[in-house]
Amino acid sequence: MEDVLLGLETAFQQEDWGLAEKLIHDLLEDDGMNPSLWYNLGLVRRKAGNNSLAIETFTKTLEMSPNHKGAMFERAAAYLDLEHFHDALNGFAEYTVAFPEDADGLLNLARIALHLEVPDLALSAFQKRADYDNDAENIIGAAEAMQMQGNEDGIGMLRRLFANNPGIRPELLKLMSQGSSGRVPLNSKQFLG
C-alpha cells in the first residue's frame, strides 16, 4: 500500500493522470467505500479533462458522504466545464445552501445566474457574497443584475465605481453600454475555488 501511495504522489507531481487514476483504482480495490478516494479519483478525471466521468465519480462520493464540500463544488464546476449551465446552476445553488458562507460558491452561482439571465437569483447571491467579499466584481455583478431587472440603481453603482476605479473603466463602459450581452462566455477556469 505504501508503494501505491508513493507512486500516486509521483503521478500527481508529474501530472500523469492516467497513472494516478490506475493507482487510485488499486486503492479502491481495498477500500471501495472511502469517499476521499472517490473524490480524488474525480479530481484526477477533471485534471485529465474527463468531466463526464468526474461528475459520475463526484456523485458516487456524495452518495457516501452527502455533504462532501469538495465533491459538491467540483461536480458543479465539471458541469460548467461541459457547458451544462442549468446543472451547474443547480449544483452551485445546492452547494451554497450547504455552505452559505463560501464566497467562491456564491460568486459562481451569481455569475451563472447572470449568464442564464436569472437576475433575482444573481442579485441575491451577490448580496450574500457582499458580506464576505464585496470586491469590484461583486459590485459590477450586482449592478448588472439590477440593470437586468430594470432597476436604474445598478447604473448608479457602476457610475460610482467608474469614478473611483480608473483601472477597470473599459470593462465598466462595456457593461454600462452592452449589459450582459457584453460578457465573456463562462468557463470554470475563470472561477475561484
pLDDT digits (tens, 9 = 90+) for 6-43: 999 999 999 999 999 999 999 999 999 999 999 999 99
Q: What would the pLDDT profile of 79-91 be if each residue is shown by its tens digit?
A: 999 999 999 999 9
How far apart, in whole angstroms, are the C-alpha atoms of residue 98 and residue 79?
18
Dump the DSSP string for 125-136. Answer: HHHHHHTT---H
Q: What is the pLDDT of residue 113?
A: 97
Q: For position 2, what pLDDT does the model report?
A: 87
Indicate the helix (H) or strand (E) that contains 172.
helix 169-178
Give CA–CA dist 100/113, Å, rounded: 16
Task: Supply the pLDDT for residue 87.
Answer: 98
Low-confidence ranges of the chain (pLDDT < 70): 172, 174-193
Task: Look at residue 44 in the predicted model and tell me its pLDDT.
Answer: 97
One-letter amino acid identity for 115?
H
pTM reported for the whole predicted model: 0.83
Q: Which amino acid is at 149?
A: Q
pLDDT of residue 175: 62
pLDDT confidence of residue 164: 79
